[in-house]
Chain A
Amino acid sequence: MTQPLSNSTVQDLDNLQVHHFDALVVGAGGAGMRASLALVEQGHKVAMVSKVFPTRSHTVAAQGGINAALGNVTPDNWQWHMYDTIKGSDYLGDQDAIEFMCQEAAEIVRELEHFGVPFSRLENGKIYQRAFGGQSQNYGGEQAYRTCAAADRTGHAILHSLYQQNIHAGTHIFEEFYVLDLLKNTNGDINGVLVMNIHDGQYQILQSTHILLATGGAGLIFRNNSNASINTGDGLGMVLRAGLPLQDMEFWQFHPTGVAGKGMLISEASRGEGGLLRNSEGEAFMTKYAPHVKDLASRDVVSRAIAIEVKEGRGCGENKDHVLLDLTHLDAETIKSRLPGIRDISMTFAGVDPIEAPMPIYPTCHYMMGGIPTDLTGQVITPNPQNPNAQTKVKGLFAIGECACVSVHGANRLGGNSLLDIVVFGRKAAITISEQLKQSKSKNQQASSAQLVLKPVLERIKRWQKTTHFNQPSSQEVSKQESAGLPDSVIQIKQDLQKIMEVGCGVFRDPEAMQQAIDQLKTIQTRLENVSITDHSLVFNQERLAAYELENLVAIAHATAHSALARTESRGAHTRMDFEERDDENWLKHTLYFAEHHQLHYKPVNLTPKTHASFEPKARVY
């Protein structure tokens, strides 16, 4: 057992330890691990920092598969995949980025296979591919079988294989270290991060000229979500505090089939294997909403259909608040071999064996299409201060995976494209960083001697060390708990935040509800500034960790609500009650949100792929 620590171990924040690396990777999900592997293989001194042990990262929960036009089951080529992805994005995805991702897909999936991923197999020994929503042959023709799968545990299989390859490569991993903030030097360049060792509560500085954010999503801003509790958007919070923008934060994917009332995901693979959605009348209602592809329409379309069925009184159960996902007509062996994971989840959380009875489901917040804006190499970009219509690269800062917005998903992501995104851009960003490092070494550039600016982050640390409330909030800002005589708490603020976002920015959005959310977020902000934590111990202090995370969640909620209210059209996952149509004339553009004064800027969507004619926006029918 460890000896009890005395108070003398409280750290002197003016003399923090500094460690130097060629590159830092923040996050150890699929994106971070793919990138770290490439950087280590290139011989760089790399540290991967993660607030959880790598295989606890949320990539592990991805179920259905990863898209690549291997053509193992039906004829395929990557341009068809590209078309489907652009259409799925409701034309908000950048066509050059989508082109690059789809072009790389086949090679990157084979590479994963070489890394050991236990893909399911076809009779001829090739990788098994299944049908998924929004995937077609020949630019909108017959259903494509493009989604490469390891049963319905594809994320688990990929994440574990990438971790295993990182073991083989000898990657240096800071496990259970939390990154608080990016550090700039006095020249204004980002040049390191400040981390807290969760095990002992000690802070240190990791210094590097190249920092790659791979911190995943932030679904925890919504009450009902399919996300892991670690998905608090830490990288996004860091970027906002560094004065950089977030892109397209109004676009959140509600996955059609979460376990009703709970939110755990039931993979799209269940419909890919032939499952049908039914309402209280037993009707397979998707025929009304997507006559051609029915249950395999893209996710925004299916989620809206479910919400409409329930709203119009055809919901199931005592409260008529969900619909059913029916697999009972499928062969029991198919369910056992292709969908064992979702059978487990359904039996555990809904008490239903899908072989015998349909599963109760309702849309659940699943994926953040927006994020940190980057170019095709994963390098973070921001409007040029001299010319706000042009974008400029942020020196040394990269972002990949769900925390990034490159943008390959636009207004709505297709199932199977998220696992693809993380490995394609994970590898690309690592190669780019590696080239930059080699160039600066060959030019014999000295590391900048400019001092790191620590004041803002140290103030943040000290703010949570205080043991008492700062100011008493005004009477209207008193929370439910305080009016009951209890002090406000980090947990209570987080729960209230999640309810505000659920009401204000859910599947259907009306302007009054969004405005109300913005107003309520002001109160949340004030409460966050005033609340204190009760636990001030050093070892595994989860209340302090939750406080840091909450700061990120609140910042992201602001970004979402402001971006959503401003966009007066319906596109992809953003569905306005007052503007029901897509408006390409005014809104075929990306939102950029800055935390300062909640400012919004816009930039054009890329419509010019390198090797293919532009896909002009047209009506989206499934």
Chain B
Amino acid sequence: MEFIISRYNPDTDTEPYDQTFKLDVSDIPPGMMLLDALHKIKEQDPSLAFRSSCQEGVCGSDGMNINGKNGLSCITPVASLSSPVTIKPLPGMPIIRDLIIEMDLFYQHYQEAEPFLQTEPLDLQHEHLQSPEDRAKLDGSYECILCGCCTTSCPSFWWNPDKFLGPAALLAAHRFVIDSRDIKTIDRLKELDDPMKTFRCRHIQNCTNACPKGLNPSRAIQALKNRIVENHD
């Protein structure tokens, strides 16, 4: 099986180039994930660089562009891919080396969404109560692993990476707007009421298509926009 991997080392290269690696069928046991294949390739060439950590799709380290689609290598079965497998870094961000991108802007937008709960002060003898129904509203938002697959697949983000917060940050923003424990809802909605930060989203839905956790940032952003508009009245 062939793997065409985008390589770039700023020590030696002026721009990225493709390198083809081969793995014998005997090196690909049933159920093998793409991450395992990359580790096999790394045995051939230890200089190949890619991030990974948990190897089970919860830490969000190994987002990459696989045969044209963003995903996590650790939960992408090799058997699901057509050969040759073309692997590139997540698009639209500066490349540090090989498949490793600079994610500072992505994290910065996440921080701008103020993704932290702000509640009435409460002593440590008590919990904030939350009904199972209110808690269920957070399902589909809190599970985000910040892998960046959504934001880096978004054309609105590609056009305005510095101004549009992008789907991951907006999903987080929405998660705190709808948390029944949070008391800053109005302030949050005002802060997000911005033609660039939030309304640059055109619901192209690449984000939802790319999310390896099956989340739906596009729907969350639509709900967020509705709340912002309702808040105008």
Known: A115-B117, A118-B135, A126-B127. A56 touches B10 (CB 8 A): no
Assess A114 versus B52: contact at CB under 8 Å? Given A4-B13, A52-B61, A124-B129: no
Q: Closest Cβ of chain A: how far from B209's Cβ, in Å?
A: 18
Q: At the interface with chain A, which of B139-147, B153-161, B200-208, B222-230?
A: B139-147
Q: Interface code B3-22, partner A: CB below 8 Å = 1, 0 otherwise?
A: 00000011111110000000
Contact residue among B12, B107, B124, B132 (Cβ-Cβ distance under 8 Å from A121): B132
Residues B11 and A537 in contact, CB atoms below 8 Å apart: yes
Q: Which single member of A56, A119, A126, A489 contacts B61 (CB below 8 Å)?
A: A56
Q: Choose one: B14, B47, B95, B107; the contact of A543 (CB below 8 Å).
A: B47
Name the one of A121, A165, A535, A542 contacting B131, with C-beta atoms under 8 angstroms.
Answer: A121
| Cβ A539 vs Cβ B11 within 8 A | yes
Inter-chain CA distance A123–B61, complex, in Å, is 36
Question: Chain A contacts of B128 at CB under 8 A?
Answer: 113-114
B15–A229 CB distance below 8 A: no
Docked Cα-Cα span, A164 to B173, in Å, equals: 12
A127 to B132, CA, bound (A): 10
A542 to B9, CA, bound (A): 12
- Listed from nearest, the 9 A-B pairs whose CB atoms lie closest are A116-B117, A125-B129, A164-B116, A537-B11, A535-B47, A543-B46, A540-B97, A168-B116, A2-B10
Which of B52, B131, B142 lies in contact with A118, CB distance below 8 A?
B142
Identify the stretch in A345-353, A383-391, A465-473, A557-565 within 8 Å (CB) of chain B at 4 or more residues.
A345-353
Evaluate contact between A60 and B94: CB separation under 8 angstroms. no
Q: Counting CB contacts under 8 A, is B126 at the interface?
A: yes
Given contacts A4-B10, A124-B129, A168-B116, contact A228 B179 (CB under 8 A): no
Report whether over half of chain B's contact residues are helix, strand or loop; otherwise say mixed: loop
Bound: A160/B172 CA distance, A: 11
B60: contacting residue among A1, A55, A199, A540, CB under 8 A? A55
A156 B42 Cβ-Cβ under 8 A: no
A156 to B15, CA, bound (A): 37
Contact yes or no, A164 B115, CB < 8 A: yes
Residues of A within 8 A of B195 (CB): none
Chain A residues, Cβ within 8 Å of B181: 116
If the complex has contacts A125-B129, A540-B100, A543-B46, are A4 and B11 also in contact, measured as CB distance less than 8 A? yes
Does B10 contact A539, Cβ atoms closer than 8 Å?
Answer: yes
Evaluate contact between B111 and A58: CB separation under 8 angstroms.
no
A417 to B97, CA, bound (A): 39
The 8 A CB mask of B54-78 against A (1 = contact, 0 = none) is 1111111100000000000001000
Decide if B1 is an interface residue (CB 8 Å cutoff).
no
Chain B residues near A (Cβ < 8 Å): 9-15, 31, 42-43, 46-47, 49, 51-61, 75, 94-98, 100, 103, 107, 111, 114-117, 119, 122, 124-132, 134-135, 138, 142-143, 145-146, 176, 179, 181
* Contacting pair B116 A126 (CB below 8 A): no
Taking a contact as CB atoms under 8 Å apart, the answer to whether A264 and B47 are in contact is no
Q: Is the CB of B46 within 8 A of A264?
A: no
Contact of B127 among A113, A344, A534 (CB under 8 A): A113
Does A533 sit at the interface, judged by CB under 8 A? yes
Assess A164 versus B47: contact at CB under 8 Å? Given A58-B53, A61-B54, A348-B57: no
Are the CB atoms of A537 and B12 closer together than 8 Å?
A: yes
Please pick, from A123, A228, A341, the residue contacting B55 in the complex, using a CB distance under 8 A.
A228
Contact yes or no, A56 B53, CB < 8 A? yes
Q: How far is the CB of B191 from chain A (nearest CB, A)?
A: 15
**Would B11 and A157 count as touching, CB distance under 8 A?**
no
A442 sits at the interface (CB 8 A) = no
Contacts of A70 in B (CB 8 A): 127
Known A60-B54, A60-B59, A168-B116; contact A1-B127, beta-carbon cutoff 8 A: no
Q: CA A604 – CA B127 in complex, angstroms?
A: 39
Question: In the bound complex, how far is the Cα of B114 from the Cα of A119, in angstroms?
Answer: 20
Residues of B within 8 A of A122 (CB): 132
A228 touches B10 (CB 8 A): no
State which of A4, A262, A341, A534 has its C-beta within 8 Å of the C-beta of B14: A4
Nearest CB of B to A493, in Å:
12
Given A53-B61, A58-B53, A61-B54, output 19 extra A-B contacts at Cβ < 8 Å. Answer: A1-B15, A1-B94, A4-B14, A55-B145, A56-B61, A60-B59, A111-B124, A114-B124, A116-B117, A125-B131, A156-B145, A157-B142, A168-B116, A264-B56, A265-B56, A491-B43, A492-B43, A538-B11, A539-B9
Q: Assess the A61–B59 pair: CB atoms within 8 A.
A: yes
Which parts of A447-502 form the interface with B (CB within 8 Å)?
A: 489-492
> Chain A, 75-100, contact with B by CB distance < 8 Å: what is the 0/1 string?
00000000000000000000000000
Q: Within 8 Å of chain B (Cβ to Cβ): is A15?
A: no
A110 contacts chain B at the CB level, 8 A cutoff: yes
A551-594: contact bitstring with B at CB < 8 Å (1 yes, 0 no)? 00000000000000000000000000000000000000000000
Q: Which of B10, B115, B179 contacts A3 (CB 8 A)?
A: B10
- A377 contacts chain B at the CB level, 8 A cutoff: no
Q: Report how far A535 CA is from B97 CA in the complex, Å.
A: 13
Residues of A within 8 A of B142 (CB): 118, 150, 157, 160
What is the bound-complex CA distance between A123 and B126, given in angstroms? 17
Nearest Cβ in chain B — how far from A113, in angstroms?
A: 5
Q: How far is the CB of A117 from chain B (nearest CB, A)?
A: 9
Q: What is the CB-to-nearest-CB distance from A380 to chain B, in angstroms, rounded to a whole number? A: 26
**A157–B125 CA distance with the chains assembled, in angstroms:** 21
Q: Chain B residues near A164 (CB, 8 Å)?
A: 115-117
> Given A107-B124, A116-B179, A125-B131, are A153 and B12 neighbors across the interface (CB < 8 Å)?
no
A2 to B106, CA, bound (A): 19
| A536-552 near B? 1/0 per residue, CB < 8 Å | 01111111001000000
Contact between B47 and A156, CB atoms less than 8 A apart: no
Q: Given A58-B53, A156-B145, A228-B55: A537 and B60 within 8 A (CB)?
A: no
Tell me the minimal C-beta distance from A71 to chain B in angstroms. 12
- Interchain CB contact (< 8 A) of A228 among B53, B119, B125, B127: B53
A-B contact pairs, 24 of them (CB 8 A): A53-B61, A53-B146, A56-B53, A61-B56, A107-B125, A114-B117, A114-B122, A122-B132, A124-B129, A125-B130, A157-B142, A161-B117, A164-B116, A164-B117, A167-B111, A168-B114, A229-B54, A348-B56, A349-B56, A489-B46, A491-B42, A538-B11, A543-B46, A546-B46
